[in-house]
Structure 1
Amino acid sequence: MVFITLFSTCNNNVDDNIGHVLNLAGKNRAELEKVLKHYASNVEDSLKYQAAKFLILNMEGKYSESYNAPWEDVATVNLRWSSSSDKSKVIETFNIGELIRKDDIHHITADYLISNIELAFQVWRDKPWGKHISFETFCEEILPYRIGTEPLENWREKVLASFADLNNSLREDSTITAVKACSKVNDILPRFRMDKDFSNMNYSQLMATTRGMCDSQAALAAFVMRGLGIPVTIDFTPQWKIHPTGHTWNSVSDSIGQHISFMGGETNPHNKHQGNTLQKAKAYRKTFQNQRIVEADKKDIPFLFQDNIIDISSEHDNMTNVVLPIKRYSEIQTEYVFLTMFYDFEWRMTGCTKLDSDSIRFQHIGKDILYLPVYYINESQIPASDPFYIDSNGKINILPSNSPDSLMAFSAITPENDTNWNWRMVKGVFETGDDPNFSNVKIIHTISTSPKLYNKISLKQSHLCRFIRYRAPIGNCNVSEIAFYDDSGKELKGVHIGSPGSYNNLGDSGDKAFDGNISTFYDAVDTENSWTGLDFGEYKRISTIHYSPRLLGVGIYNDNEYELFRWTVDGWKSIEKKKATGQTIEFNTPHNSLLYLNNNTLNKRGK
């Protein structure tokens, strides 16, 4: 009766939503009501009752994903899935079966929720830093029973069992802070092998597998630290400026409620990691609470903003605010304008703002990045204004699509430096020998300065040899192209010899230095004594050496075809195609507009 009184008293406000969730639960309603009744019957449990309401109120949309595998070790499924190049064969051979979704609201039990709440309160209250952690922070950063869409398990019990000694030492150290505790735990977390294609794994699977991307690392850190009473979040950026994906990391709440970032299993709070050093457009934090940055029909919400996240870009450096004119009004009424950033000929979703009557205002967006404001209607992006670039000083450069033409010369297809690896050839040598082991070696040229794109070395006197090689300096072995010529200018051909393999088995082996393709390169396994060369089959006389260092592939190369595009209100438009005859190429193109130069020969794109 006490439960009924308390429950009905609150129904006019927040508990109206509780009633909505209970109705959605259907046959599982009794399990959720059992949790509420358990804590409503005891006044001393009022805070736990609020915690139970928080979990149940935000349970809608939470679910587990798993495969109907004939074995219990789901981590094995993930390993087999990841290591196979043909996913369909994995399903056929190992009978992984269909992906199963179980909504928490229909399957979670009262015992599971009560156990989660009890253990969460236990570690919150028995830690020295717990008194500095607010109930609001506790609810978001310690209490949640799940991280993502992983299969549910009693992970809190497992964490306390696996880390029992550490848990005891943390509890007994009266001076330790949440941040210091975070570092202690992070130091002993398993190091991950980078992998891909994993579905969300629970604590046991992550500990058994220790493979996955950054989001798996961050998930394991969150499981362990929350299980020990350390308030930890999962943060992310949806898209890097120069990489095809985004990145995920963690943050820990300190005694005054500030978040300090770290990388689970790698770097501790206050230390540098990709999440707090690399330039990003926006940063977000995942939340358990059901809250959306964008409230609209699902077809008008980009995938990024369909999750429960909050914008934490203001916590990061090198951010600025932007006000832009609206150049194009949406034909369909909408409240939002979205921010996209340029990557690989695409505008990738990264931010949003509510629409003003006459302007677009984006807050806390990253510098040194190219952006385009868009509407998102019926799952399509429609430009709302001109592209703009924010330089490293925060200056906004709007790139109109109706600029007058002018003659422009290009020396590369991107602003990136094509010479990042040139220095790796300094102190490298070209050597000749009479046998493939180069037991009687003779140095015919030493690279003493950072090489150019194309290098031609005319030897003071020609050298007679059967075997010749390029031997890299200690520390690096990178070279794109090598060719040898005789006195008449004829290229000398031979059979490749040299150090086997390539770095990370990526296929960049020594023979790539002799394939005539400047876009390929040799990247050695061994950084101490690596080399690549030729066996001519008989003695040949060498007069000239041609070579090129490893390249990014973004320069202008002889005989490569380039195509220039410009951005218009209707998207990208091709201006002209032409072949390069040197290390620069000229086009007649609109001045101060957004251009995109493509190397059609190498299928390389730039901006």
Structure 2
Amino acid sequence: MRKYSILLIICLFQISVSCTRVSVGPPLKEILSANPKLQIVLDKYKDDSLRYKAAVFLIENLPFHYSYEGEPLNNYLKLFELHGKGTMYPDKVLDSIQRACGPFHLDRLEVKSDIHIDPDYLIENIEWAFKVWHEQPWGKNVSFDDFCEFILPYRVGDERLEPWRERIYNKYNPLLDSIRGLPEAEDPKFVSQILMDTLHSGPVYFTGLFSFGPHYGPKVVDWRSGSCVNFTDLQLYVFRALGLPCSEEIMLMRGNGNVPHYWNAAFDKDGNSYRCSILDPTSELNTPDSYWDPKGKVYRRTFSLNREMIQAMGKEAEDRHPSFRYPCFRDVTAIYAGSKNHTLTISPGHFYRSLKNDEPVYLCSATFLDWAPIGWCLYDKQLGAVFKNVEGQVVFRLGTYENGKICPQSDPFLLDRESGEVRFFSSGDKEVEVTLLHKYELYFEPFVRRMVDGVFEGSNDSHFRKKDTLFIIKEFPERLWNVVGVNSDHAYRYVRYYGPKDSYCNIAEAAFYASSADSIPLTGKIIGTPGANGLDGSHEYTNVFDGNPYTSFDFAQPTGGWAGLDLGTPHCIEKIVFTPRNRDNFIRTDDEYELFYYNNGKWVSAGRVRPHSDSLLYKVPEGALLYLKDHTRGKDERIFEYKDGKQRFW
């Protein structure tokens, strides 16, 4: 999560709200006292009740929004601009900018509160927002409340403020001229789908490598580069510039990942929302409950502070976790979970200690070796912790916020997505032996699945017009080096791996052996289908025989690719060893690994080792939650359990 400096901003004010149980932000008069120029905005609209309400809405929520400013920000923006040209891989972009400008440090930027916003900027934004709301036929089916939250806001995050509405309006509004007169155009969903089709058809330069800084602003519409949060911003700018309500949906921590996740929601004439993302395989607007990813909790970003949530928590700002200190979001888990929506109850017997009645308890999701709060409830001495609207298939842990940190209050547990049943990961006294093959979920290694139905072939015809099947891959490979036996009495001069349909012939290494006892593979002239995806020609078929499991073949066409050897003379083949294309999350020889198991509120080390093969062997308490860390390189690591002889990541 980003570093929020809202507390510093709020402390500019002497907050005193006597009529509420807790302070929920400075009143309007104190905001105007801090920046008297804002009175210009209210005076301008004193005779226009709707615009006046909109102006008050923005001004009352200014304290909870801010920008990052400073010269280092310009260097940070260069990353996205250069990557958006589509000529360099993101790691090369990062290396190039850091060599020229030095490393980026967020703490070297100045935090500027929106309290000091230019009133002319605010007025221009209000005028443009009302213009598109009133002139577009779909505007009549957008309520004032939705207008305020999802069209009116002048910013989408913590980006540097600059004018954007007119430029983006002029670019995209003409695209809707052909449908503006249709009866269907009165439904925002109909127009949103057409606009989504247009945005989805543009180039996408995706990378999560630059997600260490703030939002980079409306230039995202031009550069189209960055991570899921940046492409969410892109859609927000375009939709809102055209008067179409659009929201940002967020998992404070992805249910099966270590970082937050973002996407968009569009709305229909009845206010129902539909999930969409420029990064999705298709541009279709989908119902929220069709989203398959395990979510835990989902929130909808708003411009306004969720004052009801703050009052319900019953704690002052400094006593709430930063993620819930000034929440500008609403819980929408129920519409995403659908029939899988659960009320999660953890009884007092599962807590490490007794808590006070009405003490806030946080529902935490794993992020690397830490736990991040994604939900909360008030402790009940009779019932324990009762969290409404939770989706399962996620491992949670409970905690309280004390002395500036989350303190564990329960063992980790899995909430089953279908049944809503809870299973705890409790370390027992019995030890079991575990064999580890990778440190991250293979689901995020899409290349391994592309090998299913791939085939190794032998032939004495260089064009393989007549060929024999040596081995067919029937299950996706789960380790770095996969050894298979070949049952054939024939000798072949030509051998190859032929990729299955739509696989781009993704493979990293293949080696053919004349005897199953041999440790040295056969050699020959490398042959195959030339042409590879990528910007620098680094994924050609020759990589399959370079001995490096971290270089690979990525054929330029989805089907028809192959890589092989001309052995010079015919050889019998008894063994094949192959490596799938991968993201370096299998076990690496000689890297230093450390396995942790969760026990009594903390991670306990099971020891450090340097393997001499592509597997690790450990003994750990049965039933424990595990985490494997590579101290040598990489960052993709995730919690897992060892069940039925395999690693299962959560």
User: Same-fold call, TM > 0.5?
Assistant: yes
For 1:471, which of 491, 494, 498 is the aligned residue?
Answer: 498
Distance across 2 between alignment mates of 1:229 and 1:447: 58
| AA aligned opposite 2:604 | K
Give the equivalent residue in structure 2 for 1:546: 576
Does residue 321 in structure 1 map to residue 343 in structure 2? yes
Give the equivalent residue in structure 1 for 2:118: 109
Change (3 A) 1:286 1:252: same
Give the equivalent residue in structure 1 for 2:300: 285
Give the equivalent residue in structure 2 for 1:180: 190
Q: Secondary structure at the match of 2:263?
A: strand
Does residue 369 in structure 1 map to residue 381 in structure 2? no
Give the equivalent residue in structure 2 for 1:79: 81
Q: CA deviation at 1:56?
A: 0.8
Q: CA deviation at 1:353?
A: 2.3
Percentage identity across paired residues of the two chains: 25
| AA aligned opposite 2:400 | Y
| AA aligned opposite 1:79 | E
Q: CA deviation at 1:131?
A: 3.4
Distance across 1 between alignment mates of 2:549 and 2:289: 31
| AA aligned opposite 2:511 | A
Q: CA deviation at 1:370?
A: 1.2
Distance across 2 between alignment mates of 1:217 and 1:582: 41
Change (3 A) 1:454 1:255: same
Distance across 2 between alignment mates of 1:590 and 1:164: 61
| AA aligned opposite 1:233 | S
Give the equivalent residue in structure 2 for 1:4: none
Counterparts in 2 of 1:298-377, with a 5 A limit?
Answer: 298=318, 300-303=320-323, 306-317=326-337, 318-326=340-348, 327-329=351-353, 335-358=359-382, 359-377=384-402
Give the equivalent residue in structure 2 for 1:6: none
Distance across 2 between alignment mates of 1:16 and 1:419: 49
Change (3 A) 1:262 1:457: same
| AA aligned opposite 1:215 | V
Of stretches 512-521 and 371-380 in structure 1, the one that deviates more from structure 2 is 512-521
Q: CA deviation at 1:546?
A: 1.9
Q: CA deviation at 1:325?
A: 2.4
User: Any idea what the Cα deviations from partners look like across 1:30-83, whole Å, max 9, x if unmatched?
Assistant: x2111111222x2xx112111111111111132333554899x99656424862
| AA aligned opposite 1:456 | G
Change (3 A) 1:508 1:385: farther
Distance across 1 between alignment mates of 2:111 and 2:485: 63
Does residue 532 in structure 1 map to residue 563 in structure 2? yes
Q: CA deviation at 1:175?
A: 4.3
Give the equivalent residue in structure 2 for 1:202: 217
Give the equivalent residue in structure 1 for 2:58: 55
Counterparts in 2 of 1:41-440, with a 5 A limit?
Answer: 42=47, 45-68=48-71, 78-80=80-82, 83-85=93-95, 87-91=97-101, 99=109, 101-106=111-116, 108-166=117-175, 172-176=181-185, 177-189=187-199, 190-196=202-208, 197=210, 199-203=214-218, 205-264=219-278, 267-268=282-283, 270-271=285-286, 276-291=291-306, 293=309, 296-298=316-318, 300-303=320-323, 306-317=326-337, 318-326=340-348, 327-329=351-353, 335-358=359-382, 359-399=384-424, 401=426, 403-405=428-430, 421=448, 424=451, 426=453, 428-431=455-458, 438=462
Does residue 456 in structure 1 map to residue 456 in structure 2? no
Distance across 1 between alignment mates of 2:25 and 2:112: 25
User: Any idea what the Cα deviations from partners look like across 1:495-515, whole Å, max 9, x if unmatched?
Assistant: 672456765579676566557
Q: CA deviation at 1:172?
A: 4.0
2:357·2:381 contact (CA, 8 Å) conserved in 1?
no
Larger Rg: 1
Distance across 2 between alignment mates of 1:180 and 1:149: 30
| AA aligned opposite 1:356 | D
| AA aligned opposite 1:426 | D
Unaligned runs of 5+ in 2: 1-16, 84-89, 642-650
2:69·2:109 contact (CA, 8 Å) conserved in 1?
yes
Unaligned runs of 5+ in 1: 1-10
Distance across 2 between alignment mates of 1:405 and 1:371: 24
Equivalenced residue count is 580
Q: CA deviation at 1:311?
A: 1.5
User: Any idea what the Cα deviations from partners look like across 1:310-335, whole Å, max 9, x if unmatched?
Assistant: 22111112331111024124899993
Change (3 A) 1:214 1:348: same
Does residue 482 in structure 1 map to residue 510 in structure 2? yes
Change (3 A) 1:128 1:367: same
2:58·2:153 contact (CA, 8 Å) conserved in 1?
yes
Q: Secondary structure at the match of 1:426?
A: coil
Q: CA deviation at 1:260?
A: 2.2
Q: Secondary structure at the match of 1:143?
A: coil
Change (3 A) 1:39 1:392: closer
Change (3 A) 1:46 1:599: closer
| AA aligned opposite 2:558 | T
Give the equivalent residue in structure 1 for 2:7: none
